[in-house]
């Protein structure tokens, strides 16, 4: 400032409610403890997300970050390219709230190209479907990690809704939200950026669950006379007992470098994938009586998700789509690992 006059930069800072030297992504309204909790959780699950990218693209992918900050719509939009691919994947139970992934159009094209092994890909319906499949896998990986961290087994999200739009029309949360910036490298040293957004409701619920204190196990009274035993009609005396909580091993899946290398040996092995429209049971006489024009009623309702099986084992559910003149299936749900294990 000179002779009482404000510079244009100072005027802009005052209009936006910022102090000199602050950044546009300051945690205005964001709780620092929530930010740190989200940062720690997302950083701890970054390797698992990188492994998911590697499996989907058959490349050695590294994922750095994320950097988490609380921001608002105007400040966040300044970071984005003009056209983006946005994937809405709101949590509808467990920690309900807004949740989405956002990436520049070129980053989305590159991810879709690596997943489909096609060059010069365009962001058409097929490419958007591929991006939706990628996000569905990422969210599934995160839900598994979040369930292990918080013990909340009811966490679920909607099927990803993918759009390619100008950044100005992206449906961002209306209030301050948590933004996590990732750096994605497909092995060529050319980092690609994408963002994960948590609405204030989802961010606050997750952070609270991650930072809540563990229940304490009550020990006996420290007095030498012993404690009173209710319902016995008298006191029981004896030496004090040191009561400690049981420590269980961490059951979160962890893939070592050696195991990842072993998995790489079978990445090019073909497996039979089947899409099952439905099933039914018939008497032998009914089967023998079948002929051309016979209609077989299945046990699934019209519009109900179809089953996707690998080597006759259910791994996902999806919906039937038409691609040019061929049938296809869009993955809408990955079956949880516990259900796949119990499926026999």
In tens, the pLDDT along 156-199 reads: 999 999 999 999 999 999 889 999 999 999 888 788 899 999 99
Q: What share of the chain is helix, strand, coil (3-state, %, to 5)?
A: 30, 25, 45
Q: Which residue has the tokens 């992934």?
A: 101
Supply the pLDDT for residue 41. 93
Residue % of the chain over a pLDDT of 70: 74
pLDDT tens sequence across 105-126: 999 998 998 888 888 888 888 8
For residue 196, is it within any domain?
yes
CATH of the domain at 327: 2.30.330.10
Instruction: Tell whether pTM > 0.85.
Output: no
Whole-number pLDDT of residue 161 = 93
Residue 89, SS3?
coil
- Compare 1 and 100 and report the one with higher pLDDT: 100
Enclosing domain of residue 116: 22-212
205 and 277 belong to one structural domain: no
Selection from 74-88, 269-283, 305-319 with the highest mean pLDDT: 74-88
CATH code, 176: 3.40.1550.10
Consecutive H or E run containing 143: helix 125-150
């Amino acid at each position: 400032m000179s002779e009482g006059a404000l510079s244009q930069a100072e005027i802009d800072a005052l209009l936006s409610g910022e102090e000199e030297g602050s950044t546009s992504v300051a945690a205005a309204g964001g709780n620092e403890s929530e930010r740190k909790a989200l940062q720690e959780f997302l950083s701890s699950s970054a390797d698992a997300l990188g492994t998911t990218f590697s499996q989907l693209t058959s490349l050695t992918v590294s994922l750095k970050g994320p950097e988490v900050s609380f921001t608002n719509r105007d400040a966040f939009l300044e970071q984005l390219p003009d056209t983006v691919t946005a994937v809405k994947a709101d949590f509808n139970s467990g920690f309900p709230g807004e949740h989405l992934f956002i990436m520049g159009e070129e980053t989305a094209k590159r991810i879709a190209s690596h997943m489909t092994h096609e060059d010069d890909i365009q962001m058409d319906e097929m490419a958007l479907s591929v991006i939706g499949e990628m996000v569905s896998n990422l969210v599934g990986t995160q839900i598994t990690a979040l369930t292990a961290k918080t013990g909340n087994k009811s966490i679920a999200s909607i099927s990803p809704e993918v759009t390619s739009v100008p950044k100005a029309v992206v449906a961002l949360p209306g209030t301050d939200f948590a933004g996590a910036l990732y750096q994605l490298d497909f092995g060529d040293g050319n980092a690609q950026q994408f963002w994960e957004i948590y609405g204030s409701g989802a961010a606050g619920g997750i952070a609270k669950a991650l930072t809540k204190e563990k229940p304490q196990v009550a020990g006996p009274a420290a007095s030498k006379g012993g404690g009173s035993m209710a319902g016995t009609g008298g006191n029981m005396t004896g030496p004090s007992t040191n009561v400690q909580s049981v420590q269980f091993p961490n059951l979160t899946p962890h893939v070592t470098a050696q195991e990842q290398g072993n998995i790489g040996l079978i990445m090019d092995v073909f497996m039979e994938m089947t899409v099952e429209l439905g099933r039914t049971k018939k008497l032998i006489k009914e089967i023998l009586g079948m002929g051309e024009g016979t209609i077989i009623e299945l046990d699934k309702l019209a519009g109900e998700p179809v089953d996707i099986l690998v080597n006759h084992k259910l791994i996902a559910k999806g919906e039937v789509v038409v691609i040019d003149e061929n049938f296809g299936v869009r993955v809408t749900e990955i079956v949880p690992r516990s259900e796949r294990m119990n499926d026999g």
